[in-house]
Every structure is written in structure tokens, then in C-alpha cells.
Amino acid sequence: MAHAKTSYVCLPCRASYKQPYPGPGHYDRSCPRCAEPLIHVGSAFAAPRQRDNAAWRVLSLLLHSGVRFHKSCCGGPGYRPRTLSEARARMAYARTNGEPFAKALVRYELP
């Protein structure tokens, strides 16, 4: 039986790689193109097209805020903003209410 794989992303190269889950040694992985460290994003990740600048900016914002794409018990990872305007609205809400960015970015709706 094959081992399950998860996604890793290199933001400078705008590349996504499927690799086996980290084992007991939990070693860091590096990008085969630029040798920068890869970011573990989770198994429910779907990479945007390489030319889609706005989508990669939103993805970078999510990853730097600590949001990942792991499957939950009931299916997918839940809501993630897809456009810069959605992400900006949630970050403005977080600033005014003192909520952490990671929590505000994964809200389905703003109150």
C-alpha cells in the first residue's frame, strides 16, 4: 500500500510539490529549483496557476499568517479567502476587534 502524500509549497518559485508526510525524524524539505525551504501546507491544498499573481499573493498572506490546508474530520479545510479584497476585509476586521489574523482569515462571514 502506498504512503499518503501531502503538499509543500515554494513561494519564490510558485511551485507545489506532493511529498510523503514527515516521518519521525521530521526533516525539513527544500525546493528542487531554488533550494529555499518548502512550506508544509497540508493535504487539502490546490495550487493556483503559476501566472495568477493575485492568488499567489493571497496564498502568501495566508501562509505567513499561519493558515494551512489540512483536512478536517468532515471533509475539506473549510473557508479560505480567494481574492485580495476578501483577505483585506478580514484583516481589517481582525485589526479593529483584536482578533488574530489566522482566525479572522478562515471565517465564512464577517459579523
Confidence check: pLDDT of 86 > 60 = yes
Confidence check: pLDDT of 60 > 90 = yes
Average pLDDT score over residue span 3-10: 88
Q: What whole-number distance in Å separates Cα of residue 56 and Cα of residue 82?
A: 10
12: CB partners within 8 A, 6+ apart: 31, 34, 36
pTM of the model: 0.83
| Residue-range domain boundaries for the chain | 5-105
> What's the pLDDT score for residue 72?
65
Confidence check: pLDDT of 36 > 70 = yes
- With both helix axes pointing from N to C terminus, report the angle between 84-97 and 53-65 in degrees, rounded to the nearest 10: 30
Is pLDDT larger for residue 70 or for residue 15?
15
Q: What whole-number distance in Å separates Cα of residue 64 and Cα of residue 107?
A: 17
Confidence check: pLDDT of 2 > 60 = no
Average pLDDT score over residue span 63-67: 92
> What's the pLDDT score for residue 76?
62
